[in-house]
Structure 1
Amino acid sequence: MNKSRFRSALAGRDAHIRSLRVSLICVSALALYALWGWNQAGDEIIVHNPPDLSAGASRAWSEVPKPNVYDFAVSIFTQVNRWVLDGSEDYQKNLHLYSYYFTPQCRQILEQDYNQKRLKGELSGRERSLSQIPGYGYEDWRVTSHSRDNWTVQADLQLSEYVGGVEVKSSAIRWPLKVVRYDVDRNNNPWGLAIDCFDGPARNIEFKGAK
């Protein structure tokens, strides 16, 4: 009788140990899953901070401040239009390099522009620079919000082109750039924004030095 009770006690102890082990494995698995989910969540959320945080930031984390939209549009657009050696090669390389920063429709428009310029001989041996005009940087009126996912940026930029070291074009131009929120691989486009080409025709502007 005593032996039977002893064996029963041992069996109960072993069963309890097994249940504790199973519980420990389950808790460990849940903890690892929670850590993985927390780590992945950081890769999926984009928080746009305004340039000046001195007064704090009370807006929603998903809201994109106008200065950020302007900076994105000008930065990407000027880079695509920077031909260091030869426009026939540099323009096409830039379109490929920055393809994740343009919508598919806009990429098609820019590809057509490249082909038209190439056929007209406006690329071979041509250098180009596009830069912000000093004193004509961000102001609130330059960014129009159409919705939380759609903006128009009025970018005043200096366009200069050279052939054989000789300047053949110099113009101050206002480009109305369309910007949209863009869901794309964050490794290729950390902004989560894209240029959707133009909200109207570009036009020459006159300026006298910095404003």
Structure 2
Amino acid sequence: MKSRFRNALQGRDAHIGSLRFAVGGLVGICLFMSVGWYNASQDITVHNPPDLRAGSTRAWWDVPTPNVYDFAVRMFSQINRWPTNGAEDYENNLHTYKWYITPACRETLKEDYALKRNKGELSGRERALFEIPGRGYEDWRVIPHSKDSWTVNADLQLKEYVKGTEVKTSLARWPLRIVRYDVDVNKNPWGLAIDCFTGPAREINVTPPPTGAK
């Protein structure tokens, strides 16, 4: 009788030990998962196409080409906006919008700034760069190279003024290289950056609409 009672107690103690081991393992797994969740990114950028009337199904990391185009034109125009004095505005823009430009491209633009400054093409100049009316987004304007890089062929008009007098105007197609750039969502919510150009800008001709055309 004593032997059976002793065996029952030993079995109970062994079962309790097994349960304690299992509980300890579960606690360890929960702690490991908690650390992983804490270290994971707190935000995730999802790019939605501009027109959602027909709905959209896509991978969360996929960037619709209209969004790439919009980013390229908007940010490149801002970088090239000199409201008062190009000698100061150009340099300030390279700092203000540094989160939207890759480091390599920023160095290229700094060299362009120094070249223009030395040639006297900045001081007192105002500049505006904007999309040519009627030359907005079309599918062919955005060429995907991978899920992380694109070329945007943007037709832009450039105007420069000195003391209110127009000194330069041009119509050109700019082949802008855009890359995924998930560096700091607080500084750059687009998750994209300008990586300069895939080739030189090319002048284009824009035929005015016929008289009376709407």
TM range (shorter): 0.7 to 0.9
Give 1:19's aligned residue. none
Alpha carbon RMSD of aligned pairs, Å?
2.3
What is the one-letter code of the residue matched to 1:187?
N
The alpha carbon displacement at 1:41 in A equals 4.6
Which residue of structure 1 lines up, in the alignment, with residue 143 of structure 2?
A: 144
Structure 2 CA distance for aligned equivalents of residues 104 and 95 of structure 1: 11
> TM-score, structure 1 length as denominator?
0.80
Show structure 2 runs of 5+ residues with no match. 1-26
Give the SS at the match of 1:189: coil
- CA distance in structure 1 between the aligned counterparts of 2:194 and 2:173, rounded to whole angstroms: 16
Describe how 1:111-150 pairs up with structure 2 within 5 A.
111-150=110-149
Determine what percentage of the aligned residue pairs are the same residue.
64
CA-to-partner distance for each residue in 1:151-180, whole Å, 9 max, x for gaps?
000000010000111001111111000000
SS in 2 for 1:187: coil
Q: TM-score scaled to structure 2, two decimals? A: 0.79
| Shift, 1:42, TM fit | 4.6
Alignment of 1:157-196 (within 5 A): 157-196=156-195
Structure 2 counterpart of 1:66, which letter? T
1:108 and 1:150 map into 2 onto residues whose CA distance is: 19
In structure 2, the partner of 1:199 is: 198
Q: How many Å separate the matches in 1 of 2:98 and 2:41?
A: 26
Task: Name 1:89's counterpart in structure 2.
Answer: 88
Structure 1 counterpart of 2:19: none
Partner Cα separation in structure 2 for residue 182 and residue 41 of structure 1: 15
SS in 2 for 1:72: helix
1:55 shift after superposition = 1.4
Partner SS state of residue 189, structure 2: coil
Q: Distance in 2 between matches of 1:78 and 1:158?
A: 10
**Residue matched to 2:99:** 100
Q: Distance in 2 between matches of 1:200 and 1:209?
A: 27
Q: Match for 2:185: what amino acid?
A: R
In the aligned structure 2, how far is the partner of 1:137 from the partner of 1:52? 15
Contact 1:134 1:209 in 2 (8 A): no
Q: Deviations over 1:77-131 (max 9, x none)?
A: 0000000000000000001000010111100000000000000000000000001
Tell me the number of residue pairs that the alignment of Structure 1 and Structure 2 aligns: 182
The one-letter code sitting in structure 2 at the alignment partner of 1:126 is: R
Task: Give the secondary-structure state (helix, strand or coil) at the position aligned to 2:78.
Answer: helix
CA contact (8 A) 1:182 1:192 kept: yes
